[in-house]
Amino acid sequence: MTVKPATLLAQIYAMAGARDWDGVAERCAADFIVHEAPGIPYGGEWRGREALRRVAEAMYGTWHDASVQIHEIVGGETWAVVVLTLTMTSKRTGRTFSQTVNEAGRFEDGLLKELRIHYFDTAEIAAEA
């Protein structure tokens, strides 16, 4: 029986939360790519098996504090989507704010091939960073 994308993505997020970056890398394709919104400080394309670790380090390094609360992970045969709240404290203003984020992951041969991250308001993130 093939493991569904929602289960695979839940495993990857659990490993990322535990900072098990070797485990995360093992579950990403060699040509894995993360698409972050271009208007934010860590925006753009991040490539390779270590991309999630690198983008997480950049994201957490942008804020005084940042935390992720996962609400739900849903999926089909190829894609899974994580609905989460990202809470951040600005190093520039000291303001703490939250945003709903949807992160859509596409799987191929049991490996995460790409992750597309969609923020509620990238202008707010850019202004606070």
pLDDT tier for residue 110 given thresholds of 50, 70 and 90: very high
Alpha helices in 1-129 (DSSP H): 5-17, 21-26, 51-62, 122-128
CA distances from 13 to 29, 37, 85, 127 (A): 16, 20, 14, 27
| Radius of gyration, alpha carbons of the chain | 14
Global confidence as pTM: 0.92
Kindly list the strands in the beta sheet with 63-75, ordered across the sheet, starting from the edge strand earlier in the chain.
Answer: 44-47, 28-36, 111-119, 96-108, 79-90, 63-75
Q: What is the pLDDT of residue 11?
A: 97
Q: Tell me the per-residue pLDDT of 21-73, one tens digit each, with 9 for 90 and over.
A: 999 999 999 999 999 999 999 999 999 999 999 999 999 999 999 999 999 99
Q: What is the pLDDT of residue 2?
A: 84
Distance between CA atoms of 105 and 117, rounded to whole angstroms? Answer: 9
Percent of the chain with pLDDT over 90: 93
Distance between CA atoms of 44 and 121, rounded to whole angstroms? Answer: 16
Domain segments of the chain as ranges: 5-128
Q: Which CATH class is domain 5-128?
A: alpha beta
